[in-house]
Amino acid sequence: MNLSSLRLDSNLKWSHRPAHHGLNLSCRRNVVSWSSIKPPASASLSVAESVTSDSPSRIDSLSQVSGVLGSQWGDEGKGKLVDILAQHFDIVARCQGGANAGHTIYNSEGKKFALHLVPSGILNEDTLCVIGNGVVVHLPGLFEEIDGLETNGVSCKGRILVSDRAHLLFDFHQEIDGLREAELAKSFIGTTKRGIGPCYSSKMIRNGIRVCDLRYMDTFPQKLDVLLSDAASRFKSFKYGPEMLKEEVERYKRFAERLEPFVTDTVHFMNESISNKKKILVEGGQATMLDIDFGTYPFVTSSSPSAGGICIGLGIAPRAVGDLIGVVKAYTSRVGSGPFPTEILGQEGDLLRFAGQEFGTTTGRPRRCGWLDVVALKYVCQINGFSSLNLTKLDVLSEFSEIQIGVSYKQIDGTLIESFPGDLCLLEELKVEYEILPGWKCDISSIRNYADLPKAAQQYVERIEELVGVPIHYIGVGPGRDALIYK
């Protein structure tokens, strides 16, 4: 395409700020000043008073840099735990993924918020939220999310930092995502069609556009033309011409102006925060069974939602990362295609789906549901080195008179498989061995002390701990902030 035909005002420049954003200095035109941040534990945002008395000490003892990661195929309820823990941390940071992550949380009045890019610490007014370099950022979606939060009384001003190294996800990435899925036909991945894969593909083949590129509107059109031309050459149904480029550049000039106060060298900021003893909570998107390396490839996401993604996606050293909490449902669900060893089909699966309201936060798609898979969970715990687990949605299992746990895999010939296999052909043929435990058939959603749970529910929790070898410190019994038992 001849770019000389485009007459665009390229005067938009972001002023260059000093490289140092120390915590005692203002950051990005006083977006953040640590001296003005209040103590993290705001009384007005405390979790329900009915939680057990040892919960604050357990939370306060978490490492300076701690993380909350998904332990299945996503949708485990990470956002709620992050929201609860955030009041004890100075910073909540996203390290990977994009708007394909859907975190549903509730404020102290019970108002529901569905977040996709903004970290789940945003409801705690003293928490600073960081979108790290490993995240792919769809600016229209980010601004829509911020506007929705502001409309509902959640102030975002000066509370969100976006990495200048983060890659931009464009609308055309979303269109390409859909075209790619259609091309795969029966072998489709089952993506959210939010453009995540195509954006990461652009990043990996080194023609992606980063947030810092918005500083230079004189070269931005050429970079965007390369991306759009590449898409047009790959997909015949993708229509691209000079007018599309012009409109998109003008649109991103406006986005750049609005984004400017948020943009920060977050790698420097995060490391300065660590040096200044600020407490940091990392919020993972998706989950380890969707990890590009460790998940059920190719039916995975395009980033690393396991522990390794923290260092890569935020630019912090492995030695800085301490406690990691794995979030796991009391059963299993997954969205999209791919093997699912403990999946329940038919009426029982429908019962679990509707009891747990298993419909995607991002897409609204019904999730596939099944019994808890301990083989997969142990595999995930080994990869991440979790210090503890958060078992969510235990209340949903109240619908069942007996509950099954997938405890081992066997091949057709009876050979025991000792770990979760990477070979999908083997995975699809294996047989799951189940252990059956009694149900409790009563509502536990109002219980806040572990000792008050029915004995069968306690037995279920403790059997999981025994099988996996990781303690369960948090138990979710409902969607609300206060619906949490500390064990």
Please report the pLDDT score of residue 336 as a whole number. Answer: 80
| Contacting residues for 341 by C-beta, under 8 A, at least 6 apart | 370, 373, 375, 376, 406, 409, 427, 430, 432
Check pLDDT > 50 for residue 276: yes
User: How many residues are there in the chain?
Assistant: 487
* 407 and 424 share one domain: yes
* 306 and 402 share one domain: no
173 found inside a domain: yes
470 found inside a domain: yes
Q: Give the least confident one: 98-107, 193-202, 321-330.
A: 98-107
24 found inside a domain: no
Q: What percent of the chain has pLDDT over 70?
A: 85
Alpha helical stretches, state H, 114-219: 139-151, 171-184, 196-204
Give strand pairing partners of 402: 438
Check pLDDT > 80 for residue 134: yes
CATH code of 255's domain: 1.10.300.10
Q: Which domain holds residue 171?
A: 167-259
Please report the pLDDT score of residue 192 as a whole number. Answer: 66
13 found inside a domain: no
Cα three-residue angle 407-478-476, rounded to 5 degrees: 45
Question: Is 448 marked as binding a ligand?
Answer: no
236 found inside a domain: yes
Query: Letter for the amino acid at 145?
Result: E
Please report the pLDDT score of residue 438 as a whole number. Answer: 97
Q: What is the mean pLDDT of residues 426-441?
A: 95
Q: Express each pLDDT in 197-246 by its tens digit.
A: 889 999 999 999 999 999 999 999 999 999 999 888 888 878 888 888 99
Catalytic annotation on 218?
no
Closest of 180, 158, 143, 135 to residue 256, by C-alpha: 143
Please report the pLDDT score of residue 472 as a whole number. Answer: 98
Closest of 294, 449, 450, 454 to residue 384, by C-alpha: 294
* 134 and 282 share one domain: yes
Catalytic annotation on 203?
yes
* 157 and 176 share one domain: no
Report the distance separating Cα 42 and Cα 204, nearest Å: 42
**Which of these three, 232, 259, 286, is where a domain ends?**
259
**Token pair belonging to 64:** 């300076």
Question: Is 365 marked as binding a ligand?
Answer: yes
Question: Is 101 marked as binding a ligand?
Answer: yes
235 found inside a domain: yes
Please report the pLDDT score of residue 195 as a whole number. Answer: 84
Check pLDDT > 80 for residue 180: no
* 338 and 416 share one domain: yes
Q: What is the mean pLDDT of residues 371-397?
A: 97
* 357 and 430 share one domain: yes
Please report the pLDDT score of residue 431 as a whole number. Answer: 95
* 69 and 194 share one domain: no
Question: Is 79 marked as binding a ligand?
Answer: yes
Please report the pLDDT score of residue 54 as a whole number. Answer: 58
Q: Which of 21, 83, 90, 103 is catalytic?
A: 103
**Which of these three, 293, 320, 347, is where a domain ends?**
320
Query: Letter for the amino acid at 474?
Result: Y
- Contacts of the segment 224-229: beta carbons below 8 A, 24+ positions apart: 224/170, 224/248, 224/249, 224/252, 225/1, 225/3, 227/170, 227/172, 227/202, 228/172, 229/1
Question: Is 100 marked as binding a ligand?
Answer: yes
Task: For residue 257, count other CB atoms closer than 10 A to its CB.
Answer: 12
* 349 and 411 share one domain: yes
* 310 and 414 share one domain: no
**DSSP3 helix / strand / coil % (the chain, rounded to 5):** 35, 20, 45
Report the distance separating Cα 473 and Cα 7, nearest Å: 60
Q: Give the least confident one: 13-17, 111-115, 246-250.
A: 13-17
What is the pLDDT confidence band of residue 190, given thresholds at 50, 70 and 90?
low
Q: What is the mean pLDDT of residues 173-180?
A: 80
Catalytic annotation on 75?
yes
Give pTM, 2 decimals. 0.86
* 344 and 415 share one domain: yes
Check pLDDT > 60 for residue 41: no
17 found inside a domain: no
What is the pLDDT confidence band of residue 187, given thresholds at 50, 70 and 90?
low
Check pLDDT > 70 for residue 89: yes
Q: What percent of the chain has pLDDT over 90?
A: 69
Please report the pLDDT score of residue 469 as a whole number. Answer: 97
Report the distance separating Cα 256 and Cα 209, nearest Å: 13
Question: Is 104 marked as binding a ligand?
Answer: yes
Question: Is 463 marked as binding a ligand?
Answer: no
Question: Is 6 marked as binding a ligand?
Answer: no
CATH code of 458's domain: 3.90.170.10
Q: Which of 203, 279, 329, 473 is catalytic?
A: 203
Q: Which of 21, 75, 265, 329 is catalytic?
A: 75
**Token pair belonging to 288:** 């380890």
Check pLDDT > 70 for residue 133: yes
Q: What is the mean pLDDT of residues 256-282?
A: 98
Q: Give the least confident one: 47-56, 106-115, 316-325.
A: 47-56
Question: Is 424 marked as binding a ligand?
Answer: no
Q: Give the least confident one: 20-34, 125-139, 329-343, 352-366.
A: 20-34
**Which of these three, 299, 320, 341, is where a domain ends?**
320
Q: What is the mean pLDDT of residues 406-411?
A: 96
Question: Is 112 marked as binding a ligand?
Answer: no
CATH code of 59's domain: 3.40.440.10
Question: Is 301 marked as binding a ligand?
Answer: yes
* 469 and 442 share one domain: yes
Alpha helical stretches, state H, 11-110: 55-60, 78-86
Q: What is the mean pLDDT of residues 427-445?
A: 96
Radius of gyration, CA atoms only, the chain: 23
Q: What is the mean pLDDT of residues 113-120?
A: 91
* 205 and 79 share one domain: no
Question: Is 363 marked as binding a ligand?
Answer: yes
21 found inside a domain: no
Check pLDDT > 60 for residue 48: no
The rounded mean pLDDT for the chain is 87
How many structural domains compose the chain? Answer: 3
Question: Is 218 marked as binding a ligand?
Answer: no
